[in-house]
Amino acid sequence: MGLRNYLDKQVAPHFHEGGKFQKYYVFYEMFDTMLYSPSSTTGAAAHVRDGIDLKRVMMTVWFAALPALLFGLYNVGYQANLQITEFGFSPLPGWRTDLVAALGGFDYTSLWANVLHGAVYYIPIMIVVYLGGLLWEGLFAWKRGHEVNEGFFVTGILFTLILPPSIPLWQVFLGISFGVVIGKEVFGGTGKNFMNPALIGRAFLFFAYPAQISGDEVWVAVDNFSGATPLSLAASGNIDFDAGLTALATAGQQVDISWMHTFVGGIQGSIGETSTLAILIGAGILLLTRIASWRIMAAVALGVVGTSWMFNAVGSDTNPMFAMPWYWHMTLGGLAFGLVFMATDPVSAAMTDAGKWVFGILIGFMVVVIRVINPAFPEGMMLAILFGNLCAPLIDYFVVQANIRRRQRRTVGGAV
């Protein structure tokens, strides 16, 4: 109450109409609503009575992403500490290493040491994302004369979780800037973007700086370390999908990667994408609160299963990805994370019930096709969702037109 009273009595009057900082009200409102619910209410009819508003939706999605975030902190530190302790690699030089050494050391068997090591890489990424994104959001809101929308609260957290831990911070700023400005604000802001802003930012980094967003040297925060992700190992034929054994893995060592290992998430990858188990916990939260569409989730899964079975049946002597079962696709790369948090974005996804099924199946089909047939893109989920975003308005259009024709036929038949 003390902070609330101070803001209302001492700070807010300077930013309201007639105050000396009136033209900067949007920035004060942005900060104030990050801490408290807005006090303003709708002043005219009609009203929609509901127990949830946009801010509550965003908070729910953020809470649903928390399991993936927490496991990501642990796994980033675990992967780094494992290479340092077991294989003698040196940590990346800088203040992060000094902090970890002083507070927890590099023992990969220590929960605290792993979480701390992960946090010193994740937290700077999160700070840059939110400061950079809110800067652009605030500038556009200021120029357009409206309040800052809460949409970036979710965009920011999702963007941090689809990045590798060792990405340079200046690239993080460029990526979120591109996603917010080009992916959303130029189309009018939250609710008017036709593609997912977080994925637009990652796609920009993927094509502009491929060495820092993909490859074998970006997934573990260790100096001079090179190690492929399990998905890349699968694409190169180094995973036996029945036994789960890799012929080559990190630091030139042979390791065992079972399907359960990939499901739990103790593997290399983007910060929040490695644990399918943690992602499914978030999916349960989104489905129970009816924030995300179960139709889209189910449709993406159906598309993955059906397309995988098709490639399994065809087979190939030269391409090992033809043999990857659907359940391995689900736990490798960013497929699970994209299915739960990206494909279900209500702004850029299909709106009609029938369209959601077509939209989801299209994404599931595309991600497997890209993974299996195109060796230049072993991941595929990002491109599949962006392609689905482009097709979503067209899908909804045909669904609506089909409904109109069906009603017209029914009306004419009834009149006759």
Mean pLDDT of 267-277: 93
- Distance, C-alpha 152 to centroid of its chain: 13
172-176, 241-245, 393-397, range with the lowest pLDDT: 241-245
Radius of gyration of the chain (CA): 23
Range from 90-99, 201-210, 310-319, 360-369 that averages highest in pLDDT: 360-369
Q: Are 99 and 120 in contact (CB under 8 A)?
A: yes
Q: Which residue has the higher pLDDT, 314 or 232?
A: 314
136 shares a domain with 221: yes
Q: Are 107 and 83 in contact (CB under 8 A)?
A: no
Does residue 8 form part of some domain? yes
Q: Residue 15: what are its φ and ψ, rounded to 5°?
A: -105, -15
Does residue 252 form part of some domain? no
Task: Identify the pLDDT of residue 74.
Answer: 96
110 shares a domain with 128: yes
117 shares a domain with 4: no
Band (21; pLDDT cuts 50, 70, 90): low
Looking at the chain, the number of H-run helices and the number of E-run strands are 18, 0
| Model confidence pLDDT, tens digit, residues 80-112 | 999 898 888 888 888 888 899 898 889 999 999
The CA dihedral of 227, 232, 234, 235, to the nearest 10 degrees, is -140
Band (230; pLDDT cuts 50, 70, 90): confident
95 shares a domain with 13: no
Q: Are 330 and 277 in contact (CB under 8 A)?
A: no
Does residue 415 form part of some domain? no
8-22, 99-113, 219-233, range with the lowest pLDDT: 8-22
Distance CA 339, CA 345 (A): 10
299 shares a domain with 220: no
32 shares a domain with 122: no
Nearest to 79 by CA among 215, 220, 231, 233: 220
Task: Identify the pLDDT of residue 49.
Answer: 46
Cite the beta strand spans of 264-318 per DSSP E.
Answer: none
pLDDT of residue 1 exceeding 80:
no
Nearest to 362 by CA among 398, 328, 390, 334: 390
Mean pLDDT of 383-392: 95
Mean pLDDT of 280-309: 96
**Domains contained in the chain, number:** 3
| Model confidence pLDDT, tens digit, residues 22-72 | 656 655 565 565 555 555 555 544 444 455 556 678 788 999 999 999 999
Does residue 259 form part of some domain? no
Mean pLDDT of 196-224: 89
Domain with 77, as residue range(s), is: 52-227+268-282
* Reported pTM: 0.85
Average pLDDT of the chain, as a whole number: 85
Does residue 45 form part of some domain? no
Q: Are 368 and 380 in contact (CB under 8 A)?
A: yes
Band (247; pLDDT cuts 50, 70, 90): low
77 shares a domain with 220: yes
Distance CA 340, CA 38 (A): 29
Task: Identify the pLDDT of residue 44.
Answer: 46
73 shares a domain with 13: no
Distance CA 8, CA 18 (A): 15
Task: Identify the pLDDT of residue 271.
Answer: 95
205 shares a domain with 66: yes
Band (317; pLDDT cuts 50, 70, 90): confident
Distance CA 134, CA 226 (A): 34
183 shares a domain with 75: yes
According to DSSP, residue 187 is labeled G
Q: Are 106 and 79 in contact (CB under 8 A)?
A: no
92 shares a domain with 117: yes
